[in-house]
Structure 1
Amino acid sequence: MKKFLIVLFVIPLLSMTVENDKTKFIGKWIGEDNKDIGYLSFDSKGFAYFETQGQIMGGEEFVLNGKKGSMTYEINPTTNPIQVDLILTLIESKEQKKLLCIANFIDDNTMEFAIGFEGIRPTEFDSENSILLKRQK
């Protein structure tokens, strides 16, 4: 009976930890790449967007090459580093493209973020694929 009660209390705690890890991403993050300042934002509705030089790509709806699209995100916080998928969807055709990424929190307001290209998720952070992001307050 003791084991049953322990399991009954531990399982909800574990599931809350996973959800809390996802909420750590929500917010606007600033980074610098080749002296260009840019932002990566995650909202609570599951949308993400990039912002550079005043232009926004992503979110609930944006236009790319004359076609409307959206960008959502999925996070797998059970992996180390954390796997993040940025999913670009063309609204009319429902065609999707995933950017496979990884993230590592240095503290609550600083994270390393690496983007994989050509359908390959990075396995580590290096100077070619990663950027240091700080949460904007």
Structure 2
Amino acid sequence: MKYLFTLFIIPLLLLNTTTKKENFIGKWAGEDQNQIGYITFDNDGYAAFEINGEVMGGKEFYIKGQKGKMTYTINYDTNPIEVDFTITKIQSGESNKILGIAEFTDVDTFIFDLSFNNDRPTAFGDNSITLKRVK
């Protein structure tokens, strides 16, 4: 009986120890000003934006002729969730942050708002976009 109990409890504990970060992992599509764009979050902490087939971000891309990378961090301890992107020029190490907020409406949909001027949005407004997981 003790072994049977262990057989059921251990898998349940393992399921509960997965990180929330996995909620964002994958490719997400959204529409802004009649254009479809994508955001991709990978397991290694890299993110990329794609608009009109042009990709900005990931492990390596070019910023004004220089190699760059874009990483992300997620703070689940806030409400709404804070999602920050850091764009770094690889050679110089110079970096800029894009600050954002997100709120899941279901496991495959979240509302997203970004600020490009170092001020984090505090609420979802006219610039917010709904993103859906690409399956």
Which TM-score tier does this pair reach, normalised by the shorter chain?
A: 0.7 to 0.9
- One-letter amino acid of the structure 1 residue matched with residue 43 of structure 2: S
Q: Which residue pairs with 1:136 in the alignment?
A: 134
Q: Which residue pairs with 1:39 in the alignment?
A: 38
- The Cα offsets for residues 35-61 of structure 1, whole Å up to 9 and x where unpaired, read as 000000000010000001010000000
Q: Distance in 2 between matches of 1:132 and 1:99?
A: 18
Q: How many residues align?
A: 122
- TM-score, normalised relative to structure 1: 0.85
- One-letter amino acid of the structure 1 residue matched with residue 79 of structure 2: N
- 2:26–2:41 Cα contact (<8 Å) kept: yes
Q: What secondary structure, in the 3-state scheme, does the structure 1 residue paired with 2:20 have?
A: helix
How far residue 21 of structure 1 moved from its aligned partner, in angstroms, is: 1.6
Q: Distance in 2 between matches of 1:65 and 1:101?
A: 24
Q: Identity of counterpart residues, as a percentage?
A: 51
How far residue 95 of structure 1 moved from its aligned partner, in angstroms, is: 0.7
- 2:39–2:49 Cα contact (<8 Å) kept: yes
Q: Distance in 2 between matches of 1:24 and 1:30?
A: 15
Give the 5 Å matches for 1:77-88. Answer: 77-88=76-87
- TM-score, normalised relative to structure 2: 0.86
Q: Which aligned segments of 4 or more residues in structure 1 are displaced greater than 2 angstroms?
A: none
Coordinate RMSD, CA, aligned = 1.6
Q: Distance in 1 between matches of 2:59 and 2:34?
A: 28
Give the 5 Å matches for 1:1-137. Answer: 16=17, 20-128=19-127, 130-137=128-135
- The Cα offsets for residues 87-110 of structure 1, whole Å up to 9 and x where unpaired, read as 000000011101010000000000
Unaligned runs of 5+ in 1: 1-11
Q: Distance in 2 between matches of 1:98 and 1:110?
A: 24
Q: Distance in 1 between matches of 2:47 and 2:124?
A: 21
How far residue 28 of structure 1 moved from its aligned partner, in angstroms, is: 0.2
